[in-house]
């Protein structure tokens, strides 16, 4: 896929199986990290196609 970036866990840096484009805008979406030993629940915030950590 072109111009897509994967979501990263702000706690541990685990690369999540979710993608967004450089057009993405997102807030209020809660994700649970699937990283080993992490399991953090974090809000996915994306502004102008960049994830805010
Ligand atoms: Zn994590």
Question: What is the Å distance from ligand 1's center to 48 Cα?
Answer: 23
For range 18-45, the mean pLDDT: 96
Q: Is the pLDDT of residue 29 over 90?
A: yes
Question: What is the Å distance from ligand 1's center to 16 Cα?
Answer: 9
**Beta carbons of 44 and 26 less than 8 angstroms apart:** yes
Q: Where are the domains of the chain?
A: 4-51
Residue 2 has a pLDDT of 73
Q: What is the mean pLDDT of the chain?
A: 95
For range 23-37, the mean pLDDT: 96
Whole-prediction pTM: 0.87
For range 6-20, the mean pLDDT: 96
Q: Which two tokens stand for residue 15?
A: 């690369």
């Amino acid at each position: 896929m072109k111009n897509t970036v994967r979501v990263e866990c702000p706690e541990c840096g685990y690369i999540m199986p979710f993608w967004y484009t450089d057009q993405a805008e997102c807030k209020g979406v809660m994700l649970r990290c699937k990283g080993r030993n992490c399991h953090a629940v974090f809000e996915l915030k994306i502004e102008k196609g960049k994830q805010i950590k």
